[in-house]
Amino acid sequence: MRTYEVILYFIVPAAIWIFIAWLTRKAFEKKQRNPQTGFVLSLLAGLVPYVLTTAISTVSDVQALLWTHFFGFVLQIILLVIVQNRLPQGNWISEEEQVGGEARGDSVTVVLHITLLITGLFISSPIWIGLFASFKLPQDVTNFPPTLLPDIWTFENYVTAWTSVPLFRFFMNSVIQTGIIVLFQVVFSILAAYAFAILDFPGRNLMFYLILGSLMVPFQLTFIPNFVMVSNWGLANTHAGLVVPFLASAFGVFLLRQFFMTIPRDFFDAAKVDGASSFRYLWQIVVPLSKGAISAFATFSFLSAWSQYLWPLIITNSEEMRTIQIGIRFFLFDQERGADWGAIMAVAVIALLPTLLIFLVAQRQLVKGIASTGLKG
């Protein structure tokens, strides 16, 4: 190996490795935590990809080595971000006092974050495999032994996916279906949850328990009745047929009702004294206070509607009404090439992007909304 190769592939990455570890040490120091702990943990985080690579296979080419460096840097940077934004302020004790519980607690906290990070990367591995496979040449997707990274990066699978079928039409059908379902479920759930949480009327608890009981009924049990009903209404193979069985959500009623019950009753009484109607109190007081729970339910509703497969497959029978999830199966039965796994991975990545974007944007509201429900009632 030449001198410049040693510098490029080993010395430079090692310098970057140590520099990021030093930044993490400084971040620990600003948080008044043990800086030596941050330095060591950052070095260990950067070492993780090397351990995993060694356990899976021997690094035999430069590309694999560079990607190993890259993932090591990514883990170190993620650790640095966690320390800066998530690690609470503490009191760093001197080296003589490190036998105390606080230093050990700091180390355990960061080690726990690293463990969760590694676990998350492992759980999300199918996503990474599908993403990298979508950039491989079609003949390389099914190679054995399989490789994670493409030998040649190409957009051929995306071109095939976009030109072989009306993918944009499939995508827009999914957008229309999901948008209508989310809108109606959120509105109906807000209205029903408000009635069950705030208003007093005969049979309120009985009706609520019946709605909860409907959660125990699997969708497969109502599948045929729904299909017969929608078909008799003449809505088969239409956007209305795609959404009618899902316009209301028992889970949404339950989730929002639990949150609405945490709002003090005094607000409702004060609004009544001021002459506000129930409808005005709902939209001007309850809804603004419940943005977290509503956002959480809207996210769940979006994920559920977007990932539907069986109902769109049965209720639609023409290509122009298919959703993007159904569009994937067109590449499973290619008469010329058989199953086109490269195009399948490309379409799967395209279908994944909206859900990933929604989750990244709404994850804070999602966690906040779920954590805030069920506190009363």
How confident is the model over 257-311, as pLDDT tens digits?
Answer: 988 888 888 888 888 888 888 888 888 888 888 888 888 889 889 988 998 888 9
CA-CA distance, 222 to 203, in Å (whole number)?
Answer: 25
Confidence (pLDDT) at 43 = 66
Angle at 295 between CA 300 and CA 369, to 5 degrees: 90
What pLDDT is attached to residue 2? 54
Task: Tell me how crowded residue 33 is: count the other CB atoms within 10 A of its CB.
Answer: 27
Q: Give the separation between CA 38 and CA 42, rounded to whole angstroms.
A: 6
In a domain, 142, yes or no: no
Q: Is the pLDDT of residue 326 over 70?
A: yes
Quote the CA–CA distance of 230 and 240 in Å, as a whole number.
Answer: 9
Give the end-to-end CA distance of the chain in Å, rounded to a whole number. Answer: 70
The reply to whether 146 falls in a domain is no
Does a cis peptide bond (omega within 30 degrees of 0) precede residue 312? Answer: no
pLDDT: which is higher, 174 or 54: 174
* 179, 108: one domain: no
Q: How many domains, the chain?
A: 2
For residues 65-84, give the mean pLDDT: 66
Greater confidence (172 vs 368) lies with 172
Would you give the DSSP letter of residue 93?
P
Greater pLDDT, 369 or 121: 121
Structure tokens at 191: 């209205």
146: left (phi over 0), alpha (psi -120 to 50) or beta: beta
| 3-class DSSP state of 198 | coil
The reply to whether 105 and 19 lie within a common domain is yes
Q: Where would I find the H helices in 233-264?
A: 239-243, 250-260
Q: Is residue 180 over pLDDT 90?
A: yes
User: Greater confidence, 232 or 219?
Assistant: 232
Q: How confident is the model at residue 185 (pLDDT cuts 50, 70, 90)?
A: very high
Q: The domain spanning residue 234 has which CATH number? A: 1.10.3720.10
Residue 363 has pLDDT above 80, yes or no: no
Residues in the chain: 377
Kindly state whether residue 349 falls inside one of the protein's structural domains.
yes
Same domain (yes/no): 105, 219: no
Distance in angstroms (rounded) separating the CA atoms of residues 301 and 178: 8
Domain assignment of residue 277, yes or no: yes
Q: Which residues contact 298 (CB under 8 A, 6 or more apart)?
A: 182, 186, 362
Lowest-confidence region among 50-64, 70-84, 344-358: 50-64
> pTM (2 decimals)?
0.67
Whether residues 167 and 306 fall in one domain: yes
Report whether 299 contacts 307 (CB < 8 A). no
Looking at the structure, do residues 231 and 106 belong to the same domain, yes or no? no
Judgement on whether residues 272 and 187 belong to the same structural domain of the protein: yes
**CA 266, 252, 186, 245 torsion-angle sign:** negative
Where does the pLDDT of residue 354 fall: very low under 50, low under 70, confident under 90, or very high at 90 and above? confident
What is each CA distance from 22 to 18, 37, 85, 86, 117, in whole angstroms?
A: 6, 11, 17, 18, 21
334 DSSP β-pair partners: 338
Domain assignment present for residue 132? The answer is no
- In angstroms, the CA 2 to CA 5 distance is 5
Tokens of 43: 């070095």
Mean pLDDT score of the chain = 76
User: Tens digit of pLDDT for each residue in 13-59?
Assistant: 666 767 667 677 777 766 666 666 666 666 666 666 665 555 454 44
Nearest to 271 by CA among 185, 374, 194, 208: 194
For residue range 87-123, what is the model confidence (pLDDT) as tens digits? Answer: 666 655 444 444 444 444 555 566 666 677 777 777 7
Together in a domain, 88 and 208: no
Q: What domain range includes position 116?
A: 3-123
Q: Which residue has the higher pLDDT, 35 or 214?
A: 214
220 and 172 both lie in a single domain: yes
Residue 329 has pLDDT above 90, yes or no: no
